[in-house]
Structure 1
Amino acid sequence: MSPLLEVSGLTKHFTARTNWFGRPISHVSAVDDVGFSLQPGETLSIVGESGCGKSTTGRLVLRLTDPTAGSIRYNGRDITCLEGGALRDLRREMQLVFQDPYASLNPRMTVGDTLAEPLALHGLVPPGKRRARVEELLALVGLRPSHARRYPHEFSGGQRQRIGIARALAVEPNLIVCDEAVSALDVSVQAQVLNLLKDLQARLGIAMIFIAHDLAVVRQISQRVAVMYLGRIVEIGPTAALFAAPRHPYTRALLSAIPVPQPRAKRQRMILSGDVPSPIDPPSGCRFHTRCPFAIDLCRSRIPAMETAAAGHDVACHRWHELPAAEPLPVESAAAGAERLARLQTRFVTQVPNVE
């Protein structure tokens, strides 16, 4: 099967300072030589610390931001230089779910108007049938037809995010970029939205790029994971393989910080020293060498190439094959998880009185 999306050498530099003549003299390396592919119906998660370039990568893929260099191929066609009507037609096939479900909705438009707008913009549904299509979209994300007459401020955060998902689905896209779509929601609401996304993907066959910093969420929803650090992808591979045997030291540090539902489990934390370097002046060689406990002189002088560690599992590290095996994450059995959840629910019911 040919990839739906192929990204190669993707780079984006933002101007940080200019001279008296308006010429740039320094820039921010937001994304630097990023490459990956995405199959139809697949979910690829991009994880990393704040400021590593995750959201910028998503916006570059959607052509909301123009790249400095590199190529983006969608269904075999290079979309890097598309403009005007051709770029507008592409918007129908690639959509975005924003992080903040309230700021991304127009407070002066009803939900019905918000969902009908892309239908009118792309001429997908005749005016007489748009109301029925809006009701169909609301039902698709678990909302009632009567909600079409309400405004965004009349909904909860989870409901607003469902509206954002419905808006993205309105034009029947092949690819959706979810830019930290559940990070602003409560944990219980996160689970509902994640289950909704997985169900819609299974039913509609949509490919997703899921941008997040919560590795527990990533583990639940994605088939593959790409780990970014300071604008570069340092490791990419199948979710199960990456969580079971992380190769890059940065990936190991991220996984060691995941809390597990076993209070008595003994784990060896990998705590990184120092702060993330400035993207205006990134370190030479491997960008992680300033915080890596395994760094050697080679790491400080040469940029590591992406190497294949296993089938479909690539890593950019000079010493990945020399590092000791990573400690596996403690996994809670299904029976133990159900018992713990039932115990918590019983405790909550007995301690919280009914309020009528």
Structure 2
Amino acid sequence: MSALLEVAGLAKHFPVRRGAFGLVSGHVRAVDGVDFELRAGETLAIVGESGCGKSTVGRLVLRLIEPSAGQVRFEGEDLLALSDGAMRARRQRMQVIFQDPYASLNPRMTVGAMLGEPLMLHGLAKNEAARKARVGELLDLVGLRPDHARRYPHEFSGGQRQRLAIARALAVEPKLIVADEPVSALDVSIQAQVINLMRSLQQRFGLAYIFISHDLAVVKHIADRIAVMYLGKIVETATTDELFRNPRHPYTRALLAAVPLPDPTAARERTLLEGDIPSAMNPPSGCRFHTRCTFAREACKRDEPALADDGQAHATACPYWPEFPPPAVLAEAANRDADRIRLTRLQAAFVNNQQREAS
């Protein structure tokens, strides 16, 4: 199957201006050479810490901001070569869901006007009756009632507002939706409802998602493939099952180790990252992660690793990953440490009880 979306060498460098004359003193390399593909009906999750450039990638794909370099092809067409008018027409097939639904919904427009506007702009409703019918259908698709069309955004809860944002994205019958942290502002129970809604809509309409998130626990339930970003670059890509079962890059291991477990007594591998993310204005030479990596060696400071595929759709930007202890071994060591700590605590509690009884 040919790719719906192809991204190659995508980069965005924001100029930093200082002084009274606004002279450029440097560039923030928010995205610095990103490559990936997305097939129809597939979900690619882009994950990483805040500031890694994942949200910028989503905006670059939609040309909400213009890239500094690279290529974006959608359905075989080079989007960066299109005029503003032609790009506006292509956005009928490419939509976005933002993180904060209240900020992205016009508070002065009713839900009916908000959902009806893109229908009129793209000529998808022949008359007022057709527009109202389509608005009612969209509300029903996302689990809301047709009479909600008369309300304003402030009259809805956070979860309902995000459903409205999804309905607005669906209004023009897109093929691709960029979902930028779509559930991070919602309660956990509401997150599950919205994720289930997005999955059911994907199956029904064959949608492709770019799902941007920092929460791997959420990503696990919706993504087919995951791309891990660090400081403007992708450091690992794999299918969701493979990445959770066999993380290779040290940064990916650290992210997975931070995912909370539902069992408070369970122990797991803990990888603590030292220091902060380096400045995107002056990223480290060689591997950008070497300043925080426990496995770093001298070559990592000098040579920038390429994202190398193993031939089984698992690519890693670290040539030394085969030498690292497998995740299972690290988990066993963590479990042994946890058992030792629990035993020490039990012994301490026993001694305290003995002392209280003696007194």
Normalising by structure 1, what TM-score?
A: 0.90
Name whichever of 156-165 and 82-91 sits farther off.
82-91
Structure 2 counterpart of 1:178, which letter?
Answer: A
Q: Give the superposed CA RMSD.
A: 1.4
Q: How far does residue 268 in structure 1 lie from its aligned partner after superposition?
A: 2.5
Tell whether 2:185 aligns with 1:178.
no
Q: CA separation in 2, counterparts of 1:15 and 1:120?
A: 38
Equivalent residue number for residue 14 of structure 1: 14
User: Could you say which structure has the larger radius of gyration?
Assistant: 2
Equivalent residue number for residue 212 of structure 2: 211
Equivalent residue number for residue 107 of structure 1: 107
| 1:307-345 deviations in Å (ceiling 9; x for gaps) | 123511101013112111113889xxxxxxxxxxxxxxx
Please say if residues 178 and 208 of structure 1, whose CA atoms lie closer than 8 Å, have aligned partners that are also in contact: yes
Name whichever of 199-208 and 303-312 sits farther off.
303-312
Equivalent residue number for residue 57 of structure 1: 57
Please say if residues 299 and 318 of structure 1, whose CA atoms lie closer than 8 Å, have aligned partners that are also in contact: no
What pairs up with 1:201-350 in 2 under 5 angstroms?
A: 201-309=202-310, 311-327=312-328
Structure 1 counterpart of 2:27, which letter?
Answer: H
Equivalent residue number for residue 33 of structure 1: 33
| 1:209-238 deviations in Å (ceiling 9; x for gaps) | 000011010000000000000000000110
Query: Identical aligned pairs, as a percentage?
Result: 63
Structure 2: give runs of 5+ residues left out of the alignment. Answer: 333-359
Q: How far does residue 24 in structure 1 lie from its aligned partner after superposition?
A: 2.4
Equivalent residue number for residue 335 of structure 1: none
Structure 2 counterpart of 1:312, which letter?
Answer: A
Structure 1: give runs of 5+ residues left out of the alignment. Answer: 331-356
Greater helix proportion: 2
Q: How far does residue 71 in structure 1 lie from its aligned partner after superposition?
A: 0.3
Please say if residues 111 and 148 of structure 1, whose CA atoms lie closer than 8 Å, have aligned partners that are also in contact: yes
SS in 1 for 2:70: strand
SS in 2 for 1:102: helix
Please say if residues 6 and 37 of structure 1, whose CA atoms lie closer than 8 Å, have aligned partners that are also in contact: yes
Q: How far does residue 126 in structure 1 lie from its aligned partner after superposition?
A: 1.2
Name whichever of 321-330 and 292-301 sits farther off.
321-330
User: How many corresponding residue pairs?
Assistant: 330
Q: CA separation in 2, counterparts of 1:20 and 1:302?
A: 39
Q: How far does residue 262 in structure 1 lie from its aligned partner after superposition?
A: 2.0
Write out the 4+ residue segments of structure 1 that deviate beyond 4 Å after TM superposition: 18-23
Q: CA separation in 2, counterparts of 1:253 and 1:21?
A: 43
Please say if residues 244 and 329 of structure 1, whose CA atoms lie closer than 8 Å, have aligned partners that are also in contact: no
SS in 2 for 1:58: helix
Q: CA separation in 2, counterparts of 1:131 and 1:83?
A: 32
Structure 2 counterpart of 1:190, which letter?
Answer: Q
Q: CA separation in 2, counterparts of 1:85 and 1:277?
A: 39
Equivalent residue number for residue 48 of structure 1: 48
Please say if residues 15 and 26 of structure 1, whose CA atoms lie closer than 8 Å, have aligned partners that are also in contact: yes
